[in-house]
Amino acid sequence: MLKEIYYPEKVHCLPEKRNFLFRAGFPSSKQPAEVDFIKKANEVYLLALGTIKPVVFHLTAPVDYFPPELFPESFLNIKAMTVFASTLGHSLDDLINELNQKNQSFEAWLLDAWGSESVEALNRHFDQWLRKKHGVGTRRFSPGYGRVDIRMNKFIIKELLKLEEIEVLESGVMLPRKTTTCLIGWYHEKK
Residue ranges binding other proteins (CB under 8 A): 10-11, 14, 16-17, 31, 33, 35, 38-39, 42, 45-46, 49
Q: Least CB distance from residue 17 to other proteins, whole Å? A: 5
Is 10:52 a contact under the CB 8 Å cutoff? yes
Q: Which amino acid is at 42?
A: N
Q: 154 CB contacts (<8 Å, ≥6 apart)?
A: 168, 172
Beta-carbon count within 10 A of 67 CB: 10
Provide the β-strand partners of residue 182.
84
Distance between CA atoms of 29 and 137, rounded to whole angstroms? Answer: 34
Which of 38, 63 has the CB closer to other proteins? 38
Which of 59, 95 has the CB closer to other proteins? 95
Crossing angle between the packed helical segments 105-134 and 90-101, to the nearest 10 degrees: 170
Q: Least CB distance from residue 35 to other proteins, whole Å? A: 4
Q: Least CB distance from residue 43 to other proteins, whole Å? A: 9
Q: Least CB distance from residue 10 to other proteins, whole Å? A: 6
Which of 38, 61 has the CB closer to other proteins? 38
Which of 2, 33 has the CB closer to other proteins? 33
Which of 49, 150 has the CB closer to other proteins? 49
Is 48:92 a contact under the CB 8 Å cutoff? yes
Q: Least CB distance from residue 23 to other proteins, whole Å? A: 15
Closest CA to 114 of 185, 30, 47, 60: 47
Distance between CA atoms of 95 and 74, rounded to whole angstroms? Answer: 38
